[in-house]
Amino acid sequence: MKLKDKVALVTGGARGIGAAIALQLAREGAKIVISDIAPEEAAKAAMKSIIDVGSECKYFQADVSSFSDAQKTVDFVLSNHSTLDIMVNNAGITRDNLILRMSEKDWDDVLRINLKSVFNFSKAVVKPMMNQRSGKIINIASVVGIMGNAGQANYVASKAGVIGLTKTLAKEFAGRNIQVNAVAPGFIETEMTAKLNQAQKDAILNLVPLKKMGKPEDVAKTVAFLASSDADYLTGQVICVDGGMIM
């Protein structure tokens, strides 16, 4: 129970990697607030699993791309709990296409939801974290933000931006005892990757030395480590959870 009595906010926590992160943090003793653009109904299974492991879970519907929604979400957490110790910026989307066919809307939507969201929530949480003199911010990036990927210009740019933002926030808040790190998943089994056809999956698996897709739990366990005091001397780092795709 490394996170006993800590309070964690997970964006995009209704399903997939976010739901697995919320559950893992709960298993370690944290009280959870899930936020997602989907209505609370969509998070029912995720919330039940958290309650089943003996923790608390509250829900706040919000669009991560809106700063005002981010502020309202953080205010909601603080009106229910006295602290906000762990912020996980997980919500993200893909709108893949070759750049010649990529619409301006698909570029803007991905940058707003994947990158501006991290600015929004980080800005909203650092004040309470500074007041409580501690905090952990964990951003979910992607290995493609490091290696590039044809057909994902918007997504890659957003995730490379998340990595740059992570390092900058780590430097700005190191003196305040707020650690900011990123986890870069590789190829993980969720609804996001279920959209890929078998040929696309085989091509990606060829790049994975461990020759299998990761599970949301693999990412969640790394996030739980970064959220704990075991990671107090880590900041500005990007940990790839990718079966060895990048080394």
Q: Which is nearer to ligand NAD, 129 or 219 (CB)?
A: 219
Per-position x/- string for 101-130, each x denoting binding to ligand NAD as judged by CB under 6 A, each - no binding:
------------x-----------------
**Residue 47 is a binding residue for ligand NAD (CB under 6 A):** no
Is residue 133 within 8 A of residue 111, CB to CB? The reply is no
> Which residue type does 109 have?
D
Q: Where are the beta strands (DSSP E) in the chain?
A: 7-11, 31-36, 57-61, 86-89, 135-140, 178-185, 238-241
SS3 182: strand
Is residue 231 within 8 A of residue 179, CB to CB? The reply is yes
For residue 157, the tally of other CB atoms under 10 A from its CB is 17
Per-position x/- string for 198-227, each x denoting binding to ligand NAD as judged by CB under 6 A, each - no binding:
------------------------------
Stretch that binds ligand NAD, among 1-9, 31-39, 120-128, 173-181 (CB under 6 A): 31-39
**Residue 14 is a binding residue for ligand NAD (CB under 6 A):** yes
Cα→Cα distances 98→3, 150, 191, 193, Å = 43, 7, 21, 18
- Whether 155 is catalytic is yes
Rounded Cα distance between 204 and 202, Å, is 5
Selected binder of ligand NAD within 65, 73, 152, 228 (CB under 6 A) = 65
The CA-CA-CA angle for residues 107, 201, 118, to 5°, reads: 35
Stretch that binds ligand NAD, among 60-68, 128-136, 167-175, 228-236 (CB under 6 A): 60-68
Of 107, 155, 187, 225, the catalytic one is 155
- Comparing CA positions, the residue from 166, 142, 44 lying closest to residue 93 is 142
**Residue 18 is a binding residue for ligand NAD (CB under 6 A):** yes
Selected binder of ligand NAD within 86, 87, 118, 188 (CB under 6 A) = 188
Q: Which is nearer to ligand NAD, 135 or 185 (CB)?
A: 185
Q: Which is nearer to ligand NAD, 32 or 113 (CB)?
A: 113
> Which residue type does 23 have?
L
Is residue 8 within 8 A of residue 226, CB to CB? The reply is no
SS3 228: coil
**Residue 36 is a binding residue for ligand NAD (CB under 6 A):** yes
Q: Which is nearer to ligand NAD, 7 or 9 (CB)?
A: 9
> Applying CB under 6 A, which residues contact ligand NAD?
11-12, 14-18, 36-38, 63-65, 90-93, 113, 140, 142, 185, 187-188, 190-193
Q: Which residues are identified as catalytic?
A: 155
